[in-house]
Amino acid sequence: MLDTPTYTITEAAHYLKLAPATLRSWFMGRSYPKRDGPGYFEPLIQFADKDQRLLSFTNLVEAYVLRALRQNHNVSISALRNALDYAEQELKISRLLMKHDLLTATGDLFLQYYGELINLSQSGQLAMRKILEAYLARIEWNMELPSRIYPYVTSIDNQKIIAIDPCIGFGRPILIHKGISTAVIVDRIDAGESVETLAEDYDLKPDEIEMAIVYERAA
């Protein structure tokens, strides 16, 4: 189920709170202008289904981790690709972005190499590591493979109320306490029902209903 083609680019971008154009470039590459003609960035991540351009749950995790690595660092895609090539060739780990190895000494070697590629100072590398650790803490692992993501609802959110689990709700975001789809919550709110009514119907706290609304409506 981890590699089943499930999500469109638009859906995945919404769930991860990324610009669709950004996510598309990570999976499809993009052209860019150069003095001697157009250049091209090769994709960083491979679609689970390239023909239909569908992502799997593991693709979702890869994009989630990639977002963490690029957060607050205006770095080139080529530098990140070089770091991932280093992980595959020197550390012998393919698809590192979806591996538990990011939490081990192997992950430290990868981050050190990546930090050197983008000329981060020691303090900058430490800050990047802390950001990545915060993101990785919101992934559950089973046999060293990702099994669930608790996406951020807001930038200061430390709760794990909303989850994306390939085994629940067809892999769509849910309120994990009851397994209720966040999209269903918003549909009922938009239809005129109140937070209090939904909280009573689903035996949830009003705060959980409001969290689902904030998550679904976040840009």
Q: What are the angstrom distances between the C-alpha of 48 and each of 25, 53, 117, 184, 211? A: 15, 8, 29, 27, 30
Kindly provide the residue ranges of all beta strands, DSSP E only, lying in the chain, ordered along the sequence.
30-34, 37-41, 139-142, 145-149, 162-163, 174-175, 180-181
Instruction: Verify that 10 and 94 share a domain, yes or no.
Output: yes
For the chain, how many structural domains are there in total? Answer: 2
**Structural domain for 28, as ranges:** 1-144
Instruction: Verify that 112 and 13 share a domain, yes or no.
Output: yes
Residue after which a domain boundary falls, among 113, 144, 175:
144
Instruction: Verify that 171 and 90 share a domain, yes or no.
Output: no
Residue after which a domain boundary falls, among 126, 144, 162:
144
Instruction: Verify that 160 and 116 share a domain, yes or no.
Output: no
Instruction: Verify that 175 and 189 share a domain, yes or no.
Output: yes
Instruction: Verify that 126 and 66 share a domain, yes or no.
Output: yes
Dihedral (CA of 24, 25, 30, 34) sign: positive
Residues ≥6 apart with Cβ < 8 Å to 103: 136
Helix (H, G, I), strand (E, B) or coil at 37: strand
Instruction: Verify that 6 and 93 share a domain, yes or no.
Output: yes
Instruction: Verify that 67 and 34 share a domain, yes or no.
Output: yes
Instruction: Verify that 2 and 93 share a domain, yes or no.
Output: yes
Residue 65 confidence (pLDDT): 93
pLDDT tens, per residue, the chain with 219 residues: 899 999 999 999 999 999 999 999 999 987 777 778 777 778 899 999 999 999 999 999 999 999 988 876 666 778 888 999 999 999 999 899 999 998 889 899 999 998 888 888 888 888 888 888 989 999 999 988 899 999 988 766 678 999 999 999 999 999 998 999 999 999 999 999 999 999 999 999 999 999 999 999 985
Residue after which a domain boundary falls, among 112, 144, 176:
144
Instruction: Verify that 27 and 123 share a domain, yes or no.
Output: yes
Instruction: Verify that 89 and 134 share a domain, yes or no.
Output: yes
Instruction: Verify that 172 and 109 share a domain, yes or no.
Output: no
